[in-house]
Amino acid sequence: MSDEPELRRDPVSGRWVVIAPERARRPIAFSDHAPRHRTSGDSRPCPFCAGAEAETPNEVYAIRDPGSLPNGPGWQLRVVPNMYPAMRPNATAASPVHTPGLMSGTVRAAIEEIGKGQYLLRGAPDEFPLFNSAPAAGFAEVLIDCPDHIDDPTKLTDDQFADVLLSYRERLLTLSADPRLAHVAVFKNVGAEAGASLAHTHSQIIATPIVPILMHAELTCAEAYTARCGRCVFCDLIEKDLAESLRVVARSENFVAVMAFAPRFAYEMWVLPIAHEARYESLSETAATELAILLKRVLRALDVVQNAPAYNWFLHTTPLHAGVPAHYHWHLEILPRTARPAGLEWGYGCHITTVVPEHAASQLRAAIM
Ligand SMILES: [Zn+2]
Ligand SMILES: [Zn+2]
């Protein structure tokens, strides 16, 4: 493959990126430039460790030893409300979104569309205020992966890792019963450089009455692909990637890990069920164990190849109350901080990376154990 810069379009979101391997050779005078490795920044005492249950709000979900009491020791995994929530459950009371009579039927219908994956209100401009706002009504939760002070999810046992994945499902199922909510973001920040404020491995769950814009873009683009081709864009991508093997990092019986065709950061990796599944809520216990083992393998390979980068992973699944669409296919995106976004990224949403994804895939395959 040549070093010529190449434009690539992500088939799911429609975003364009630049792959420019030559830029890897540019002189860099700032010593703290890319990549962004995990920094410890660890502090004790840790409010997420066993024995510190009083340091967190009361748990809303837990996997516990028989006979143990809520909010005491004897747990394997806990979900607690975030002490510093971005969303508040009781913020709905004064919400204009839910006050009939304050809006026309058109506006109300448009708002109801939010639950069907519509982020932007549609209609005649004079139907809407210039400045739309609503109370941040929703839920912000922290899922503490394990009682021991572990700072790296690959150090979880397979069972612990599978429990994390199954607990994502449980929280999605619980939160999806709330008709006020449109979307649940489930993600993990690993390392301070990826936004983690505490080292003890944990995930975040944020349920909102709106569908975030990146999800909206994926849903819209994926729906358009299906309308045009009659197939799911993710299913097509998986089929082609498996046939060519160029971007496949690893696979198990039912899941595959591939490098993104048009990555935002070098080594951006997606993990998908091979068969079409619109909703993560359908994940079975055996599938969770299989997925846990695959994720640990590819994350360890990423740590080897990129010397423990900070990263996020996030779950993308069909929004709440949006049925089981043929055009959307849940997946996990793993986004390592292998560079620092600059003007083109922040100002225009166009990412430049310096590693050709097919090269990245072969490096990771060689590091898989
Ligand atoms: Zn801890
Ligand atoms: Zn599909």
Q: How far is the CA of 218 from the centre of ligand 2 (A)?
A: 13
User: 82 burial class (0-12, 13-18, 19+ CB within 10 angstroms)?
Assistant: middle
Cα(52) to ligand 1 centroid in Å equals 9
Closest ligand to the CA of 148: 1
Q: Which tens digit of pLDDT belongs to each residue from 99-111?
A: 333 334 444 454 4
Distance 196 CA to ligand 1 centre (A): 13
Contact in structure between 37 and 336 (CB atoms under 8 Å): no
Length of the chain, in residues: 369
Q: Which residue has the higher pLDDT, 351 or 31?
A: 351
pLDDT band at 97 (very low <50, low <70, confident <90, very high): very low
Torsion of CA 354, 355, 356, 357, to 10 degrees: -130
Instruction: Using pLDDT thresholds of 50, 70 and 90, give the confidence band for residue 156.
Output: very high
Measure 200 CA to ligand 1 centroid, in angstroms. 5
Whole-number Å distance, alpha carbon 324 to ligand 2 midpoint, is 11
Give the pLDDT mean for 313-337. 96
| CA angle centred on 173, ends 113 and 329, rounded to 5° | 65
Which ligand sits closest to the CA of 225? 2
pLDDT range class, residue 23, cuts 50, 70, 90: confident
CA 184 to centroid of ligand 2, rounded, Å: 20
- In this prediction, residue 134 carries a pLDDT of 78
Residues near ion ligand 2 (CB < 5 Å) are 232, 234-235, 276, 329
- Per the CB < 8 A criterion, the answer to whether 119 and 319 are in contact is no
Q: 368: CA distance to ligand 2 center in Å?
A: 26
Strand arrangement of the beta sheet that strand 6-9 belongs to: 6-9, 16-19, 351-353
**261-301 pLDDT tens trace:** 999 999 999 999 999 999 999 999 999 999 999 999 999 99
Structure tokens at 92: 């709905």
Residue 246 predicted with pLDDT over 80: yes
The mean pLDDT value for 327-342 works out to: 95
199 CA to centre of ligand 2 in angstroms: 35
Give tens-digit pLDDT for 35-46.
Answer: 677 876 677 789
Question: What are the structural domain ranges in the chain?
Answer: 6-39+212-367, 53-88+137-206, 96-127
Q: What is the pLDDT of residue 95?
A: 38
- Residues lying with their CB under 5 A of ligand 1, a single-atom ion: 46, 48-49, 149, 200
Output the CA 290–ligand 1 centroid distance in Å.
26
The pLDDT value recorded for residue 35 is: 65
- Ligand in nearest proximity to the CA of 222: 2
Å from CA of 195 to ligand 2 middle: 31
**How many helices, marked H, and strands, marked E, lie in the chain?**
7, 13
| Sequence-distant (≥ 6) Cβ neighbours of residue 94 within 8 angstroms | 135
| Rounded CA separation 254/271 (Å) | 11
Distance CA(36)–CA(195), nearest Å, equals: 11
Residue 33 has pLDDT above 90, yes or no: no
Please tell me the CATH code under which domain 53-88+137-206 is placed: 3.30.428.10
What pTM does this model have? 0.89
Check if 6-39+212-367 and 53-88+137-206 are the same fold: yes
Q: How far is the CA of 261 from the centre of ligand 2 (A)?
A: 17
Smallest-distance ligand from the CA of 149: 1
Distance 156 CA to ligand 1 centre (A): 13
Superfamily of domain 6-39+212-367: HIT-like (3.30.428.10)
